[in-house]
Structure 1
Amino acid sequence: MDKHYFIGIPMPSQIHSIATSKQEELQLRQFYKAIPYPEDLHITLLFIGGFPQEKLQPMQEVLKRISEHHDSFTLQITGVSSFGSNYTPRVIYLSVLNSDPLNSINRDIVEKACIFLDQSKKEKFVPHVTIAKKWKGIDGFNFQQQTFSPIGIEIDSFSLFEINPSRTPKYHPVETYELQQKGRPSQ
C-alpha cells in the first residue's frame, strides 16, 4: 500500500501558541474529533494522497526546482474563520491573507506536480491553517468569525510531508525546500 503525502508550509512556533489559545478559547475539543497538534499546523499547497515510493525521488527533484524559482516572503495571519455553516462548521481555521508570492508558489506546485502525478488541477486555493476538523455533531456551537491585528510570519521554505495517522505528530517532513533569500541568486 502506498504511503500518503502532501506539500505544505509548516507553521512557526509563534503560530502554535495562537492556535492553541484559539482552540481553548472556542472550546473546540468539545465539538471536534480532530484537533491538530501544534507541530502539525501547516498551509496545504497540494494534497497528493497515495504515492508509490519509486516516484518519490523524481517528485523531490521537481519540488527542488520549484523552490529555486521563488523568494522567501511574509504572510499575514488575520483571524479565525470556518468552512461550513456557523452552527456545524466542517473546519475551523486561522485565516491567511492571500498574497501574490503564496499564490505563485501554489500555482507552480499544482501545475508541475499535477502533470508529474498525472492528476487534473485541484479546486480553488484558499490558504488557511486548520485548527479543528471533523464535527462531532454536538449541539450548542455557534461559531463567529474573528479578526485580529495581522500577525506576520516569514515563509522561507515548504515541505513534502508523509502522513502517519497512527503517530503524533501525524505529519513527517520527508524533505524541506528552501526558498531563495531576496537578493540572493539561485544556486
Structure 2
Amino acid sequence: MTHYFVAIPIPFGIVAEPLKKASAYYELSSHYKVIPHPDDLHITLLFFGALTPLQLDFVKQELEVIAKNTESFTVTIDGISFFGNPTGPRVVYLSVQPELQLAELYHALGKRLEFVLQKPASLEYTPHITIAKKKKDNNPHPIETEHFPPLLHSVKGITLFSIDPASSPKYRPAETFSFD
C-alpha cells in the first residue's frame, strides 16, 4: 500500500547555500544512509502511513477544509540542528522557527485527522527540514547546533505526498491545497 504524508514543500534554491555548506562540513553523505533528493525537501506536518481509498478521500476533504480556513504565512529557516545523541545524531536537519501560524496549522490538522491517524497528534511539534538520516555506523560523528542568517519562505498551501521508496525523488505530490 502507498504511504502518505502532508507537508510544506521547500524549494531547494531557498536552502541550497546552508545545506551545501553543512553537507560538506559534516561530510553527511559519508556518515548517513539517507540524504534527501533536492526535490524532496519539506517540513512535515503529519505522517499517515498507508491509507485505504476511503481514508485517502477523507484526508483530501479535510485538507481542503483546513486550507480554505488558513491564510498564507512565512516560515523562517535559521540553523542546523539534530535529533538524537550529539556525538552521532540519527537525524540532521535545517531548523525552522516555531511560528504561531505553523503550530496552529499543525494542531488543526492533527485534530481534524485524528480519526485517520488513529491517535492524537503529538503535543510537541518541532518543525524541521531533514537533510540527513540513518547513520551508517556507530562511530562518533558530532554535529553542532548552528545558526545562520534567516531564510524566509512564504507558505501559500500544503501538499499531500505519496511515497515511492524505489524512486528518486521519492516523494510525489498527490494533491496541493492552496490557502485562501
TM range (shorter): over 0.9
* Residue 26 to residue 6, structure 1, CA distance change in 2 (3 Å): same
The TM-score normalised by the length of structure 2 is 0.93
Q: How does 1:11-30 map to 2 (within 5 A)?
A: 11-18=10-17, 19-30=19-30
Post-superposition offset of 1:16: 4.5
* Residue 118 to residue 166, structure 1, CA distance change in 2 (3 Å): closer
Counterpart for residue 167 of structure 1? 167
Q: Answer yes or no: is the 8 Å Cα contact 1:80–1:92 preserved in 2.
A: yes
* Unmatched tracts of structure 1, length 5 or more: 181-187
Counterpart for residue 119 of structure 2? 120
Post-superposition offset of 1:128: 0.3
Post-superposition offset of 1:145: 1.2
Counterpart for residue 144 of structure 1? 144
Post-superposition offset of 1:15: 3.0
Structure 1 stretch 92-101 or stretch 46-55: which is displaced more? Answer: 46-55
Q: Deviations over 1:62-97 (max 9, x none)?
A: 100100001111111010000111111010000000
Q: Distance in 2 between matches of 1:64 and 1:165?
A: 26
The TM-score normalised by the length of structure 1 is 0.90
Post-superposition offset of 1:58: 2.4
Letter in 2 for 1:119: Q
Q: Distance in 1 between matches of 2:112 and 2:157?
A: 17
Q: Answer yes or no: is the 8 Å Cα contact 2:107–2:121 preserved in 1.
A: no
Q: Answer yes or no: is the 8 Å Cα contact 1:9–1:43 preserved in 2.
A: yes
* Residue 111 to residue 39, structure 1, CA distance change in 2 (3 Å): same
Q: Distance in 1 between matches of 2:158 and 2:49?
A: 17
Q: Answer yes or no: is the 8 Å Cα contact 2:8–2:159 preserved in 1.
A: yes
* Residue 110 to residue 80, structure 1, CA distance change in 2 (3 Å): same
Post-superposition offset of 1:173: 0.7
Counterpart for residue 95 of structure 1? 95
Letter in 1 for 2:13: Q
> In the alignment, is residue 5 of structure 1 matched against residue 11 of structure 2?
no
* Unmatched tracts of structure 2, length 5 or more: none
Q: Distance in 2 between matches of 1:24 and 1:119?
A: 40
* Residue 12 to residue 118, structure 1, CA distance change in 2 (3 Å): closer
